[in-house]
Amino acid sequence: MSASPWVRCVALPAPTLRNNTADADRLVAALSQALPASAGAIDLDLDLLRQLPALLRRSDYRLRCTLFGDRGRWILTGISGTDDARPAAGLAVDLGTTRVVLRLIDLATGASLAEHAFDNPQAAVGPDVLTRIHHAESPDGLLHLNALIIDGLNLAIRALCLSAGLQPPDICAVSVAGNTCMTHLFMGLDPRWIIREPYIPVVNRPGVLKAADLGIEAGPFARVRVFPNIGSYFGGDLIAGILYSGLHRGGATAILVDVGTNAEVVLGNRDWLIGCAGAAGPALESGVTRMGMLAGPGVVDRVAIDTATGRFDVHTIEESPPRGICGSGVIDLAAQLFLSGMIDIRGKLVAAACGERLKVVDGLRHLVVVPAEQSASGEDLTISQADLDSLIRSKAAMYTILETLAMTVGVGLGELSRFYVAGTFGCFINPRSAIAIGMLPDLPLERYVPIGNSSLEGAALALTSADAVDEIDCIRDRITYLELNVNQDFMNRFSAAKFLPHTDAARFPSVNAK
Amino acid sequence: MSASPWVRCVALPAPTLRNNTADADRLVAALSQALPASAGAIDLDLDLLRQLPALLRRSDYRLRCTLFGDRGRWILTGISGTDDARPAAGLAVDLGTTRVVLRLIDLATGASLAEHAFDNPQAAVGPDVLTRIHHAESPDGLLHLNALIIDGLNLAIRALCLSAGLQPPDICAVSVAGNTCMTHLFMGLDPRWIIREPYIPVVNRPGVLKAADLGIEAGPFARVRVFPNIGSYFGGDLIAGILYSGLHRGGATAILVDVGTNAEVVLGNRDWLIGCAGAAGPALESGVTRMGMLAGPGVVDRVAIDTATGRFDVHTIEESPPRGICGSGVIDLAAQLFLSGMIDIRGKLVAAACGERLKVVDGLRHLVVVPAEQSASGEDLTISQADLDSLIRSKAAMYTILETLAMTVGVGLGELSRFYVAGTFGCFINPRSAIAIGMLPDLPLERYVPIGNSSLEGAALALTSADAVDEIDCIRDRITYLELNVNQDFMNRFSAAKFLPHTDAARFPSVNAK
């Protein structure tokens, strides 16, 4: 991460009778010299002008200035004497539906000063976007949702600043990436048309706003850059992810998959980008998490089955007694069950292979993953046939979305130079397992690149890279959004993908089931 | 006055699945088509975005939009349905040290809706710039002065709107021209360095501000354009005057003289502009008004003396009984006294010619202009030798400033194609009288063009002309400011100009004294 080009220390020539231009014009002239020749106008807020004469003279005309780029012009968002020991701070925000993550950054060095995460307080209204939008339509519902997230952010900002020895007014620049609904609620914009045909957001390019206008506790001149969205179902979080992955700069075609509350996929290179959101077909994440739980101590995150002995080797987070299973654990488990012959190519439990691990509860087959005597609860930890069927549908939907997107532009999935996987999903799944069940294509493993919270990383880049700001608009304008048309062809491909790893096993040469 | 190019009625295509861009982006696209191809980005305030979805759907996507240009980008400052019967209004303000004049304008047609003037309430603190700046340095002094003018403007805005059947929120655009100190106090900027060497304003190009940030009662998205200044002694009122006169567009060299609280002069054409402010030498206006009074009923504004009979023909405003004499009356009087031989070429009263009109009071010679029996007060209305001496110094200063400016660029005063005279001074003086005493050069009378309150007219142009906004910056950047150097050469020219009409009578061939 490079140092920000937006913190500039300037020494102004002191006024004389021969050089008696105004204070503001003197400052702007010095800053213009310190910026690239192509830089445009530099804007100063009225309240900054009000403080300027005293500040200039107190600091002997030596100033540290923080600038914020906005489409060819610059805004002065922070100013102090060069002897100010406190860093000019920036705040990057990943505004998730479930979880909100903040990072405080020293704008001069690009260094991370502190991170903080909290559950989106709007979850008290409803866990998903749909419930919140309906709530926003009730009297004062939008104000309520807006206040929840703004208050939550301000609490987090105070905590972050405290841990870094700073104060909220030290923050000069904020960068926010979230999905279309979350950014609308953040800005207090009516989201009701997002979920109604023809699915219209209030704004696609929110651009740069004053932190004070949004109610965000930061410096008096601080600005907030809200990442643009492509439409109702393709948000700024994914634009931030593309920015961070570098997909839009690559010579070879690559893909980015972000499985959060929605499954979003972008394919492309420096010449073109095409994206779609996984609203079509069963949502992957619900299939993965329905039977399990979010990662935490005692949650099964890795499973291995000895194909010779049938012995289960179950790993839990913090190696605590097993109490549930998370997404990556389920994918591992399914892959191991398939490779050891305990489920067949349709994902059905094979009685002969499962032996005494197979139990029938309420007429439904279950496989015991952790027997009662080893589990945290003292009860069997099982996976049901219904859970497995759900996983199969989810993995088939994922693969079909990838296949459809690639087909649309005539690219074979095998040609992908990189496969970026974002989010916690990307960090924890074992790509070998995901390939084994045919969820992800059978690429050499080194092409799989987990990129973590790419929404947060992209938001941070927008604060620390001179190029990033221009790239954001460029990415936004270059993406073709593919509306996934769930027609007969799509359903045929989906059906073919419901086998393990696929009806066309030749697509997965590395997968050898027992 | 042409209709504003900034009110645009647009009909947006209704959203469909094939055209499902966001509300704001839909509006911006339609406005971009309605604007010249070269128009840049269009900015929407956050609060406007918050109202947009409901407004669009309520108005069936037919909107009247008011735009405000700001250095290559546009700001949407007003929006309503196309069926809105109330005009989108603009407010032009001439922010004078003594008097403030406002004009309400229909932005769609450019028509004037109402005018209103009031005495600058800061006069309660002090009549002149210097006193007010000293007051601004006292605790809360700046806040006090700022509140006085903002409150005064808001009262005037309410009165103006009432008389035009509008309300303050109907105002979308405001344009303010004033001298450097007045605009500083209007913006709440510390003026203390304006009057101290090396005379530094806080800002020369205030640009575009939010009306709400300034405390001005207007529409929620309204913007205020504050005219730029050249320096501490050359303000935005004169830039507005140049804009209105068209001096900066002329092929032939012309001159603009504005005698208000300060005497300011600009000389130039479409290729160059040079200006100076009459801070050097005795101020003309004080010389003219010290012995007299401001225009009003009973004030002598025109004087004629029959050279054959010596009879005085005195005209008063509203033809009421004489009670004083104003600037134009004094210049008329001095010219007539000179032409009839009652004062000599040094401006001294000639006893033989004055006859019984000459009286000595407290050892000082006075000339009776209106005898006691004809005056309003029942006492003689007189002009003293000291008053005449003061007028001579003032007219000499005025002429010397004009001569010095012209000499600097090698232009003869006789070459001037137009002589624009701004302000009430310009409206009421008789150029023939001003020439007779050598205050203004001996040009053919048709070249003298009184242009009234050119500060107000320029401010209005900035609201109604598409070109004016670019021209303002262009004028500002092109003016060379001449610091009047009161050296021996200047004093020699000043001494030569202290004769009537001038030591070098050949410069005034049209003047034939008795």
Residue B1 has pLDDT above 80, yes or no: no
Q: Which residue has the higher pLDDT, B424 or B256?
A: B256
Q: Please answer whether residues B265 and B405 qualify as being in contact, where contact means their C-beta atoms are separated by less than 8 angstroms.
A: yes
Residue B282 has pLDDT above 50, yes or no: no
For residues B431 and B445, give the distance between their C-alpha atoms in angstroms, rounded to a whole number: 7
Question: The tokens 């420096």 sit on which residue?
Answer: A270
Nearest chain B Cα distance for residue A413, angstroms? 28
pLDDT tens digits, one per residue of A76-104 = 999 999 999 899 999 999 999 999 999 99
Cα angle for residues A167, A457, A391 (degrees, 5° grid): 125
Q: What is the pLDDT of residues B322-335, one digit of tens each?
A: 988 887 888 999 99
**Measured CA distances, B480 to B198, B231, B483 (Å):** 17, 11, 9
Order of strands, sheet of B324-325, starting from the edge strand that comes earlier in the sequence: B312-316, B299-305, B324-325
pLDDT tens-digit series, residues A272-290: 999 988 743 343 444 444 4
Token reading at A375: 């589990």
Contact yes or no for B53 and A199 at CB 8 A: no
Query: Across the beta sheet with B42-43, what order do the strands follow?
Result: B7-11, B62-70, B73-81, B42-43
Report CB contact under 8 Å: B202, A43: no
Q: What local confidence, expressed as pLDDT, does residue A372 receive?
A: 93
d(CA B378, CA A175): 78
Shortest alpha-carbon distance between residue B310 and chain A (Å): 53
Interface touch B203/A53, C-beta < 8 Å = no
Task: Classify residue B128 by its DSSP letter.
Answer: S
Residue of A nearest to B193 (CA): A53
- DSSP letters spanning B222-287: -EEEEPP-SBTTB-HHHHHHHHHHTGGG-SS-EEEEEESSSEEEEEE-SS-EEEEETTSSS-HHHH
Strand segments, DSSP code E, in B159-198 are 171-178
In Å, the largest CA–CA distance within chain B is 98
Q: Is the pTM of this model over 0.80?
A: yes
Tell me which DSSP letter residue A234 carries.
B
Instruction: Say if A198 is an interface residue toward chain B (CB within 8 Å).
Output: yes
Q: Which residues contact A472 (CB under 8 A, 6 or more apart)?
A: A227, A228, A239, A243, A462
Distance CA B312, CA A125 (A): 90
- Residue B266 phi/psi, 5-degree rounding, is -130, 135
Cα A408 to Cα A195: distance, rounded to the nearest angstrom: 26
**Measured distance CA(A232)–CA(A181) in Å, rounded:** 7
Distance CA B507, CA B509 (A): 6
The verdict on a CB contact (< 8 Å) between A204 and B43 is no
| Short-list A344, A339, A302, A336, CA closest to A319 | A302
Q: What secondary structure does DSSP assign to B295-342, as a single string?
A: S-TTEEEEEEE-TTT--EEEEEGGGPPP-EE-HHHHHHHHHHHHHTTS
Q: Which of B87, B55, B404, B423 is nearest to B237 (CA)?
A: B423
Q: Are A322 and A370 in contact (CB under 8 A)?
A: yes
Find all residues with CB under 8 Å of B9, minimum gap 6, and list them: B62, B63, B64, B65, B82
Q: What is the pLDDT of residue A261?
A: 58
Contact predicate B45/B108, CB 8 Å: no
| pLDDT at res. A19 | 93
pLDDT of residue B485: 74
Mean pLDDT of B428-441: 93
pLDDT above 50 (res B433): yes
> Based on C-alpha coordinates, what's the Rg of chain A?
26
Nearest CB among A15, A202, A214 relative to B200 is that of A15
Residues 6+ apart with CB under 8 A from A450: A420, A421, A422, A426, A427
Alpha-carbon distance of B113 to B130, in angstroms, equals 35
CA angle A53, A55, A61 (to 5 degrees): 90
Please name which of B178, B152, B387, B423 lies closest in space to residue B293, comparing C-alpha atoms.
Answer: B387
Beta strands A254-259 and A419-422 are: parallel
Judged by CB atoms closer than 8 Å, whether chains meet at B204 and A21 is answered as yes
- How far apart (Å, rounded) are the C-alpha atoms in residues B335 and B378? 26
Would you call the peptide bond into B191 cis, given omega within 30 degrees of 0 as the criterion?
no
Contact A205 B21 (CB under 8 A): no
Q: Left if phi > 0, otherwise alpha if psi is -120 to 50, otherwise beta: which for B60?
A: left
CB B401 within 8 A of CB B255: no
**How do the pLDDT tens digits run along chain A, 514 residues long?**
344 678 999 999 999 999 999 999 999 999 999 888 777 889 999 999 999 999 999 999 999 999 998 888 899 999 999 999 899 999 999 999 999 999 999 999 999 999 999 999 999 999 989 999 999 999 999 999 999 999 999 999 999 999 999 999 999 999 999 999 999 999 999 999 999 999 999 999 999 999 999 999 999 999 999 999 998 989 999 999 999 999 999 999 999 998 765 678 999 999 999 998 874 334 344 444 444 566 788 888 899 999 888 899 999 989 999 988 887 888 999 999 999 999 999 999 999 999 999 999 999 999 999 999 999 989 999 999 988 998 898 889 889 999 999 999 999 999 999 999 998 777 788 999 999 999 999 999 999 999 999 999 999 999 998 889 889 999 999 999 888 877 888 899 999 999 999 999 999 999 987 7
- Measured between beta carbons, which residues in chain A are less than 8 angstroms from residue B206? 49
Contacts with B, A 17-36, CB within 8 Å: 17, 19-25
Question: In a 3-state reduction of DSSP, which class is residue B467?
Answer: helix
pLDDT by residue (tens digit) across B37-93? 777 889 999 999 999 999 999 999 999 999 998 888 899 999 999 988 899 999 999
Structure tokens at B382: 């007189």
3 state SS for A60-96: CCEEEEEEEEECCEEEEEEEEECCCCCCCEEEEEEEC
Give the span between the Cα atoms of B57 and A189, in whole angstroms: 15
Q: What pLDDT score does A80 carry?
A: 96
C-alpha torsion A363→A364→A368→A371, nearest 10: -40
Mean pLDDT, chain B, as a whole number? 91
Nearest to A189 among B50, B206, B229 (CB): B50
Give contacts of B 55-94 with A, CB under 8 A.
71-73
Nearest partner of B57 among B85, B18, B15, judged by Cα: B15
Q: If we measure between CA atoms, which residue out of B435, B446, B447 comes closest to residue B505?
A: B435
Q: Per DSSP, what are the bridge partners of residue A273? A: A268, A479
Between the alpha carbon of residue A239 and those of residues A100, A242, A471, A476, the distances in Å are 17, 5, 10, 7
Q: Which of A46, A209, A232 sits opposite B213 (nearest CB)?
A: A46
Residue A126 CA: distances (Å) to CA of A98, A131, A262, A263, B54? 10, 5, 16, 20, 24
Does residue A232 sit at the B interface (CB-CB below 8 Å)? yes
Q: Which residues of chain B make contact with A189, given a CB cutoff of 8 A?
A: 49-50, 53
- The residues with which A10 forms a beta bridge, in sequence order, are A63
CB B88 within 8 A of CB B77: no
* Cα dihedral B57, B63, B68, B72 sign: positive
The whole-angstrom separation of Cα A66 and Cα A78 is 5
For residue A161 the two structure tokens come to 């600043």
- B378: left (phi > 0), else alpha (psi -120 to 50), else beta? left
| Residue B204 to chain A, least CA–CA distance (Å) | 6
Q: Are residues B187 and A24, on separate chains, in Cβ contact within 8 Å?
A: no
pLDDT band at B4 (very low <50, low <70, confident <90, very high): low
Cβ-based burial of B2 (10 A; exposed 0-12, middle 13-18, buried ≥19)? exposed
Asked if residue A281 lies in contact with residue A494, where contact means CB atoms within 8 angstroms, the answer is yes
Q: How far is CA B354 from the centre of its chain?
A: 39
Range name among A88-97, A377-386, B206-215, B278-287 with the lowest pLDDT average: B278-287
**Which single residue is written with the structure tokens 């240009």?**
B69
Among A223-232, B111-120, B272-281, the least confident range = B272-281
Q: How high is the ipTM of this complex?
A: 0.91
